[in-house]
Amino acid sequence: MDDLREQVELLESSAHLSTSINDVQKAIDLLTAARAKIAADPHAAPLTLAKLQDPFKKTLETAQKDLKPIYSGLNKYGKVLDKKFKDKPLPSAENDALSSHPSLINRAIAMHLLREGQFSVASTFVEEANRRPPHPEPTLNTPNPYLKESWEKDLAEGTFNSEKLQQQFAEMYHILHELRNERNLEPAIQWAKERSEILESRGSNLEFELCRLQFVCLFVEQREDNCRDDRPEGPLHAYHYALQELLGFSKRYMRDVQELMGAMAFWQNIEDSPYCRIFYNNSAWEEVAHSFNREFCSLLGLSADSPLFIAATAGAIALPYLLKMQSIMKEKRTEWTTQNELPVEIPLPTPYHFHSIFVCPVSKEQTTDANPPMMMPCGHVIAHESLEKLSKGARFKCPYCPNESHPREAKKVVL
Ligand SMILES: [Zn+2]
């Protein structure tokens, strides 16, 4: 990977299209000047054209010369790329889980486009998907591809009434744009205020974070221009804002509000004060934008990141392991028979761990929806199938402690 990175850096540092663009612009300027000259005095045409030839040729030559390092850079980069990613065959369709549920896949794509703010692409996609509804095809591991469960149908069909969702995401992008690009907190604060109760019940700090940032902005606003020793306008402005807006938070965020108020005492040298980190925090805007994005999606019942993106990334990480596994299995002529379980450990990064896995201590099998973990009254947990095998429907002794219980006393554990 280092080779690749090196080439990208080389390409970025050495090859600039801007010089070539300048050269081309020079050539265009020469031509326009000549045209103007000829238009003003048609008799001068032969002379002007003769004079034009040499300098014009030269600028074009320079443009060509400037392009050379770009071509050679691209060439080298292409070679390194080929070396790194050897042409491997794509995995075979033996485990094709996708073609069995095309409407769910379409939904995931449409949702992803909506979440990315690609509204026009999303509506074209939805329109075309509606015009040509996909035909599910049974595959090896999912022989029954038709949507049976009502939640599946709702999911697949629900997205295709995407207008409302689109409006909601348009609002989200508007607020995010104001936050990130315009540094304007107003729309986000308004949004959070309208949902104050529900945000609080979720334990979200968003509303307070936004208001605190507003306080900071008012405090440091135009300090250089307005902050004369006798009239600390920014801090005063912030102080009034705090009286109006922040005091309402003082019950839940006592310490934070106290900090902000304490900072007032240092209004002349906040940079050297213990409160500096609150007032000069470069990532504060990105943090509130991220937090807003997460809360907005949660209130819509969605995760902060696009599930399609997560699935595709996790799949890209897993693919090499699975391909290797496949080739080993072919060599040794063995097969992986356990369904709903991957044959190898896939080392995914921590943000991609969504829930814990439970392995039954009796059967050593990973639990699934059909075979969930069950907790007996003694607190020990085994898989449902193990529970049935051990108990045979009657009172039985826990395999890990002396307690006895009836299988119907066991409770399903949801991880
Ligand atoms: Zn026990």
Alpha carbon of 381 to ligand 1 centroid (Å): 8
Least confidently predicted of 24-28, 145-149, 294-298, 309-313: 145-149
Alpha carbon of 78 to ligand 1 centroid (Å): 61
Does position 287 have pLDDT exceeding 70, yes or no? yes
Alpha carbon of 380 to ligand 1 centroid (Å): 5
Quick one: average pLDDT of 267-295?
A: 86
pLDDT for res 174: 92
Alpha carbon of 375 to ligand 1 centroid (Å): 9
Alpha carbon of 382 to ligand 1 centroid (Å): 10
Residues 62-119 pLDDT 10s:
888 888 888 888 888 888 888 877 766 666 656 666 777 787 888 888 888 888 878 8
Residues 188-201 pLDDT 10s:
999 999 999 999 89
Does position 376 have pLDDT exceeding 90, yes or no? yes
Alpha carbon of 299 to ligand 1 centroid (Å): 40
- CA-CA distances (angstroms) from residue 330 to 346, 360, 370? 20, 29, 29
Q: Which pLDDT band, with edges at 50, 70 and 90, does 150 fall under? A: low
| Rounded-to-10 torsion of CA 189, 291, 301, 130 | 90
Quick one: average pLDDT of 235-263?
A: 87
Quick one: average pLDDT of 397-408?
A: 91
Most confident of 54-68, 134-148, 160-174, 213-227: 54-68
Q: State how far the Cα of 218 lies from the Cα of 227, in Å rounded to an integer.
A: 12
Q: Which pLDDT band, with edges at 50, 70 and 90, does 138 fall under? A: low
pLDDT for res 93: 54
8 Å CB contact between 124 and 176: no
Higher pLDDT, 297 or 222: 297
pLDDT for res 89: 67
pLDDT for res 219: 86
Quick one: average pLDDT of 181-193?
A: 93
Q: Side by side, which strands form the sheet with 381-383?
A: 381-383, 373-375, 411-412
Higher pLDDT, 257 or 93: 257
pTM over 0.95: no
Report the percentage of the chain scoring pLDDT > 70: 86
Mean of all residue pLDDT scores within the chain = 82
pLDDT for res 368: 85
Higher pLDDT, 158 or 85: 85
Alpha carbon of 383 to ligand 1 centroid (Å): 13
Least confidently predicted of 8-12, 188-192, 291-295, 336-340: 336-340
Greatest Cα pair distance, the chain, in angstroms, is: 114
The CA-CA-CA angle for residues 253, 254, 256, to 5°, reads 65
Q: DSSP label at 49? A: H
Q: Which pLDDT band, with edges at 50, 70 and 90, does 235 fall under? A: confident
Alpha carbon of 152 to ligand 1 centroid (Å): 38
